[in-house]
Structure 1
Amino acid sequence: MDRKMAVNVENLIKTFNQQEVIKSCNMSVRRNSVYGFLGANGAGKTTVFKLLIGLLSPTAGRIEVLGMNSFKYREKLLRNIGSMIETPVFYEHLSCKVNLEIHLSYMGMKDGDINSVLKDVGLNVTGDKPVSQFSMGMRKRLGIARAIVHKPKILILDEPTNGLDPLGIRDMRSLFRSLADNNNMTILLSSHILSEVEHIADTIGVIADGTVVEEVDLNTIKNKYPDGLENYFFHVLRGK
C-alpha cells in the first residue's frame, strides 16, 4: 500500500448483465489533492465513483480507499468519505439546517459546524425555508454542504457545479481548492465544464469505454497543450 495515495484501484472490472462497463481500470489519487475525472457521457465516471464509495461491489479487481477495501469496509469508511453522486435527495419539508443535523446524526457525529458549512456554500440566510422551495442551484449547494459537513478525508463529487450560476461556480471552485489546501481533504470530481476543472485540479484522469486511459499532472498538460485542457481532452479521446 502506498501511503501517499488516498485511492488505489487495480484491474477493476464491473459487469452488468454480462457486459463489462468498467474494464481493467486502474486509478491512483494522491492524498490532499484535487483529481479531475473526465470522460464522455457513458464512459463510466459515475460507476467508478459508486464503486469507490462501496455503493456497488466490483466484479473483479481491487479498490483501496485510505488503505482499506472500499466495499468490505464500507461502514468503517463512511465517516471519512463525503459524496454527491447523481441528484441528491433531501427531506423536502425540512430546512437545510435540519437536513444537515439529520445527516450528522446518521453519521453518529455531534461536532459538525453546520452554520459555518452553510456559510461556505452560501445557504446561511435561508432560515427555516423548506428544501422543497429551493432552486436547482440551492439544492446543489445543499448537496455539497451535506457532503462536507462531517469533515471527510475524501470528497467525491459527480458534476458538482451543474445547475449553478457563474457566481456559484466560482464560489464552489474556491471552496474545493480551500478544502484540499487547508483542510487536508482529497477531492475527486467529475465535470463537463473543463475550464472549471482546469482551475482547481492537480491531476487529470481520463476514462474512455470503462478504462482510465491517462492520468497526468495538470502542469504537464498545460506545458504540452498551452491552449488548455479542452484540447488535451479531445486529443486523448480521438487517440483512444
Structure 2
Amino acid sequence: MDQPVIQTLQLDHQFGKHKVLQQVSLNMPKGSIYGFLGPNGAGKTTTIRLLLGLLKPTQGEVLLFNESLSTHRIPMLQKIGSLIEMPSLYLHLTGRENLRNACILRNIPYAKIDEVLALVRLTKDANRKVKEYSLGMKQRLGLAIALLPDPSLLILDEPTNGLDPNGIIEMRELLKQLNRERGISIFISSHLLSEMEKVATHIGIIHHGRMMFQGTLQELQSLKVNGAYLQVDCSDQERAVQIFTRESGLVMLNGSGFKLPYQSKEHVAQLIQTLVREKIDVYQVQVNGNDLENLFLYLTEKQAS
C-alpha cells in the first residue's frame, strides 16, 4: 500500500483574492481508505474538484496514479468514480433508467447495471421511481453510477451527509466492502472524526485551507491522546485528589470529581482500581477533548510552538 494513487504537490487555489487552499500536499496510498477531514469551509470540496479536473490550481500539481492530471486528464478520469455532494438524478425515472442514462453517457455496456445494483443493494428497488427513494437510497444509487466504469479509485464528498444512523452504517459498511473485496481505493471527505475512525485507514486533516495532519489512523489516534483529558466523577472528591496528587495536570472540578490528562486505556483501568480499592465509589469516567474541534486546537498550538 505504499504506491500513491493520489498526490498533490503544494497545491494552491484562490477565488479572486480569497485564498482557499495553501500548499496542500496530499499523499494517498493505493488500496487505502483515505478520510479527508475538516469543518465546513475548510477547503475539502475545492480540493476534490481540483482532483477531478473541475477546477485548475492556482499553483501546484495533481498526480493521479503517478501521472500528471494536467497532461493525462481523460485516461486518468476513466479510472475514477466520483460522487460530489448530492448525486444528480432524474427523479421521474427509475433507478435502472438513471443507470442506463449513465451507461450511454460513458459508453458502458448495460450488462454492468445489474452488477452495480447488487453491489449497492438496490436490486429490489431498481424499477421504482427515484422520487420514491429515501435519501440513503439516492446516495447508494449515486454510488452505483460512480461504480459503473469499474473504477480503481472512488472520490466521495460527504456521502453520509443528511443520512439517518441506519443510512450512515449502510454506507460505511458498503465502502469497507468495496475496499476489502474489490481493492478499490477510496478518498472520502467528512467533517465527522468519529465516523472516519470507523472506516478509514489513513487520515488527512485540513483547516483554513492548510493541511494540519496526514498519516495512518493509528498515528492520528496516538496524536489524539495528547489533546484528551479524563474526567472522573466519584463519591469523595477531596480524598481522590489526595490519592492522585502526584499525577501531573490534575485539576479538581466544581462538584464531585476531577480531571487529568488522558494517557491510555490501561491507565484508566489502574485509576479506577485504585479508587475502588480505597472504597471510593466511581460514578462516571469519560474521555473528553478528543473530538475534531479540540484536535484542531491542539494541532494549531503544536504548529505555532
Higher RCO (CA-CA < 8 Å; seq separation 6+): 1
- Bigger shift: residues 4-13 or 179-188: 179-188
User: What amino acid is the match of 1:179?
Assistant: L
Give the alignment of 1:1-240 within 5 angstroms.
4-110=3-109, 113-225=112-224, 231=290, 233-238=292-297, 239-240=299-300
Give the number of aligned pairs. 239
CA distance in 2, matches of 1:95, 1:215: 41
- SS of residue in 2 equivalent to 1:77: helix
After superposing the two structures, state which structure 1 stretch, 229-238 or 190-199, moved more: 229-238
Is the 8 Å Cα contact of residues 172 and 199 (structure 2) preserved in structure 1?
yes
CA distance in structure 2 between the aligned counterparts of 1:74 and 1:49, rounded to whole angstroms: 14
Q: Secondary structure at the match of 1:109?
A: coil
Q: Is the 8 A contact 1:45 1:190 kept in 2?
A: yes
| 1:17 aligned partner, one-letter code | G
**Which runs of 4 or more aligned residues in structure 1 lie more than 4 Å from their structure 2 counterparts after TM superposition?**
226-230
Structure 2 unaligned runs (5+)?
229-286, 301-305
Distance 1:39 1:145 in 2: 26
Rg comparison, structure with higher value: 2
Q: Which amino acid aligns with 1:214?
A: F
1:203 CA displacement: 0.7
Q: Aligned-pair distance for 1:141? A: 1.5
Q: Percent identity?
A: 36
AA of the residue aligned to 1:46: T
Deviation at 1:147, TM superposition (A): 1.3
Residues 14, 223 of structure 1: alpha-carbon distance in 2 compared, 3 angstrom cutoff: closer
Unpaired segments ≥5 residues, structure 1: none
> What secondary structure sits across from 1:89 in the alignment?
coil
Moved more, 108-117 or 75-84: 108-117
Question: What displacement does 1:121 show?
Answer: 2.0
1:236 alignment partner AA: L
- Separation in structure 2 between the aligned mates of residue 168 and residue 230 of structure 1, nearest angstrom: 27
**Alignment CA distance shift 1:119-1:229 (3 Å):** farther
State the SS of the aligned residue for 2:170: helix
